[in-house]
C-alpha cells in the first residue's frame, strides 16, 4: 500500500511512474486525495466535538463531587446533541476511512526507476546470462517422459488421490526433492539466513499484510470452515512475522529462510506450458525473506541475486536473469529479477526464482517499522526471493543431465542424495 503522505506530495510523479505498469492512475489518485481530505475534515470535526463533550463530562464530575447535582444535570442536557453529532461524525469517518483504504488497496507499487516499460514477458530485460546449454543425447526426453521412464514422479497417481497439478514423487525422485531442499537451506544458512519453519495456513490479516489479498483472492486456496488460506509462498507467513512490529535499527539485516510447500489455484492456466512440473497446484519452495533499512534494501537485493547466481553455478545449470518490465511486475513489487533455467528438452526458459524489493509497500500494510538514528519510527523495506522453486529446478536437472546411461546427479547434490544417477 502506498503511503498517503507520498501521494499527497508527489501525485504527478506517481501517476507518471505507474504509466510503466500501463495503468492510468489519475482517477484513482485524485479519488484518494479527495477521500483523504474528506477524512481529515471529518476527523477534525469529530475531534472538536469530542473535546467539547470531554470537557463537559469533566465539569459534571466536579459538580457531582461537590454535591451540586442541579448544575450537573443541567450540563447533562447539553451533551445529548453532542453525542448525536459525534455518533454521526464517527460513522461518516469510518465509512470514509474504509473507502479510502479500499481505494489504496487497488493501487500497485511504484516501479523502481530501472524498471523497463512494456506490457508482457517479452518486454522483460535480460541483464545476465551464464552457463552453457548442453548438447543433448539422441532421443532426449522432456522431464515428464523421463519421470515416467524412471518411475520417479507419478502424475496420474496424484490425479487419483487429489487432482491434476498434485504430483506424487517416488523413490529417487522423492529423495532428490529432499536433497534439493536440504541443499538450498544449507546454502542459505551459510549465507547468514536464519532457518525457520512456519505454518502453511495463514489468516486473512496475513493475506492482506503481504498483499495477496485482496489482489489475488481467487488464487489462494481458502478453507472456509476456519477462514484460513493455504500459503501460496512462504513469503506470506515469514514476512507477516513482522506485522505490527517496530524493530530496532540494529536488528538489520533481518534474514530468514524457510522451506514450505506452496499452494496455488492457478485458475485459468491451460495448454502445453503447464505440462509436467511446469505449473503445479502444490509445489515445494525454499524462500528468502529480508527486512532492511531503506538505505540498504537495493544492496540487499543485489546480494540476493549474487547468492542465487552462486547456487545455480554450483548446480551447473544454464540460467539467465531478467529485470521484469512494468507490465509483468507483480502488484506489490518495486523491482523484480526473475531467474530462469534453460530446459533443453523443452527448448524454453523456466522461471525458477523471483527476487523482489517491495520497498515500503508491504511494510505500510504490515505496519512494519523501525526506530531510526533519530529515534523516529519509519517504515522498513521488505524483500523476498525463491531459493529456489523445486519443480522447475528438478525439471532442468532431469532434462539437462540426461545421458545414455541415465540421469546424472549434479555433483553438489550427490552427498545429499546418496546416489549419483537415476
Scan residues 242-271 and list those touching RNA (CB under 7 A): 246
Binding-residue pattern over the window 367 to 396 for RNA, x denoting contact by CB under 7 A = --x-x-----x-------------------
User: Considering the rule CB under 7 A, would residue 149 count as an interface residue with RNA?
Assistant: no
- Positive or negative, the CA dihedral 18, 115, 281, 210 is negative
Nearest alpha carbon to residue 335 among 172, 148, 66, 108: 108
Q: Is 44 a residue that touches RNA (CB under 7 A)? A: yes
Quick one: 58 or 129, whose CB is closer to RNA?
58
Smallest gap from residue 5 Cβ to RNA (A): 8
**Half-sphere exposure of residue 195: CA atoms within 13 angstroms, side-chain side:** 13
The set of cell numbers assigned to 53 is 463533550
Q: Is 42 in the site for RNA (CB under 7 A)?
A: no
Residue 313 sits in the site that holds RNA (CB under 7 A): no
Q: In sequence order, what are the residues at sequence separation of 6 or more whose Cβ sits closer than 8 angstroms to the Cβ of residue 35? A: 96, 99, 100, 103
H/E segment holding residue 184: helix 171-190
Does the footprint of RNA cover residue 53 (CB under 7 A)? yes
Question: Is residue 157 a contact residue for RNA (CB under 7 A)?
Answer: no
| CA trace torsion 16, 20, 23, 24 (10° rounding) | 20
User: Pick from 33, 56, 247, 412: which binds RNA (CB under 7 A)?
Assistant: 56
Nearer to RNA, 23 or 50 (CB): 50
Q: SS3 of 252, please?
A: coil
Strands 402-403 and 406-407: antiparallel
Position among 22, 54, 189, 415 found at the interface with RNA (CB under 7 A): 54
Residue whose C-alpha is closest to residue 237's, from 261, 271, 270, 265: 261
Residue 68 binding RNA, by CB under 7 A? no
Does 365 help bind RNA (rule: CB under 7 A)? no
Candidates 212, 211, 217, 266; CA nearest to 391 is 266
Q: At its nearest, how many Å lie between RNA and the CB of residue 48?
A: 6
Contact stretch for RNA (CB under 7 A) within 39-47, 314-322, 355-363, 400-408: 39-47
Among 13, 51, 133, 299, binds RNA (CB under 7 A): 51
Site residues, RNA (CB under 7 A): 40, 43-44, 46-48, 50-51, 53-58, 60-62, 64-65, 76, 79-80, 83, 246, 369, 371, 377
Amino acid at each position: 500500500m502506498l503511503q498517503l503522505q507520498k501521494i499527497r506530495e508527489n501525485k504527478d510523479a506517481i501517476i507518471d511512474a505507474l504509466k510503466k505498469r500501463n495503468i492510468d492512475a489519475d482517477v484513482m489518485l485524485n479519488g484518494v486525495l479527495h477521500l483523504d481530505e474528506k477524512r481529515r475534515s471529518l476527523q477534525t470535526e469529530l475531534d472538536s466535538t469530542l473535546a467539547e463533550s470531554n470537557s463537559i463530562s469533566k465539569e459534571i464530575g466536579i459538580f457531582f463531587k461537590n454535591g451540586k447535582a442541579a448544575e450537573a444535570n443541567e450540563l447533562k442536557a447539553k451533551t445529548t446533541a453532542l453525542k448525536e453529532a459525534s455518533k454521526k461524525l464517527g460513522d461518516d469517518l469510518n465509512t470514509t476511512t474504509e473507502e479510502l483504504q479500499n481505494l489504496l488497496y487497488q493501487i500497485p507499487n511504484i516501479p523502481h526507476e530501472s524498471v523497463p516499460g512494456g506490457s508482457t514477458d517479452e518486454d522483460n530485460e535480460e541483464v545476465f546470462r551464464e552457463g552453457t546449454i548442453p548438447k543433448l543425447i539422441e532421443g532426449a526426453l522432456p522431464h515428464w517422459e523421463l519421470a515416467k521412464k524412471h518411475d520417479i514422479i507419478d502424475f496420474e497417481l496424484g490425479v487419483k488421490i487429489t487432482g491434476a497439478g498434485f504430483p506424487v514423487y517416488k523413490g529417487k525422485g522423492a529423495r532428490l526433492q529432499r536433497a534439493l531442499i536440504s541443499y538450498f537451506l544449507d546454502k542459505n544458512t551459510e549465507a547468514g539466513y536464519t532457518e525457520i519453519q512456519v505454518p502453511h495456513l495463514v489468516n486473512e490479516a496475513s493475506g492482506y499484510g503481504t498483499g495477496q489479498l485482496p489482489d489475488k483472492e481467487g488464487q489462494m486456496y481458502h478453507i472456509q470452515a476456519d477462514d484460513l488460506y493455504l500459503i501460496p509462498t512462504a513469503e506470506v507467513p515469514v514476512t507477516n512475522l513482522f506485522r505490527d512490529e517496530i524493530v530496532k535499527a540494529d536488528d538489520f539485516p533481518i534474514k530468514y529462510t524457510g522451506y514450505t510447500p506452496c499452494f496455488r489455484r492457478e485458475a485459468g492456466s491451460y495448454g502445453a506450458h503447464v505440462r509436467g512440473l511446469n505449473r503445479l497446484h502444490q509445489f515445494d519452495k525454499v524462500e528468502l525473506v529480508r527486512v532492511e533499512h531503506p538505505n540498504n534494501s537495493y544492496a540487499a537485493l543485489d546480494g540476493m541475486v549474487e547468492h542465487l547466481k552462486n547456487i545455480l553455478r554450483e548446480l551447473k545449470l544454464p540460467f539467465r536473469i531478467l529485470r521484469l518490465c512494468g507490465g509483468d511486475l507483480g502488484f506489490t513489487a518495486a523491482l523484480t529479477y526473475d531467474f530462469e533455467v534453460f530446459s533443453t528438452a523443452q527448448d524454453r526458459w523456466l522461471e525458477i526464482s523471483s527476487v523482489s524489493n517491495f520497498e515500503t509497500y508491504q511494510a505500510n500494510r504490515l505496519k512494519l517499522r523501525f526506530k531510526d538514528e533519530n529515534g523516529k519510527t519509519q517504515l522498513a523495506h521488505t524483500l523476498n526471493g525463491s531459493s529456489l522453486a523445486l519443480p522447475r529446478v528438478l525439471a532442468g536437472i532431469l532434462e539437462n543431465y540426461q545421458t545414455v546411461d541415465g540421469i546424472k546427479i549434479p555433483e553438489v547434490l550427490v552427498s545429499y542424495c546418496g546416489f549419483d544417477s537415476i
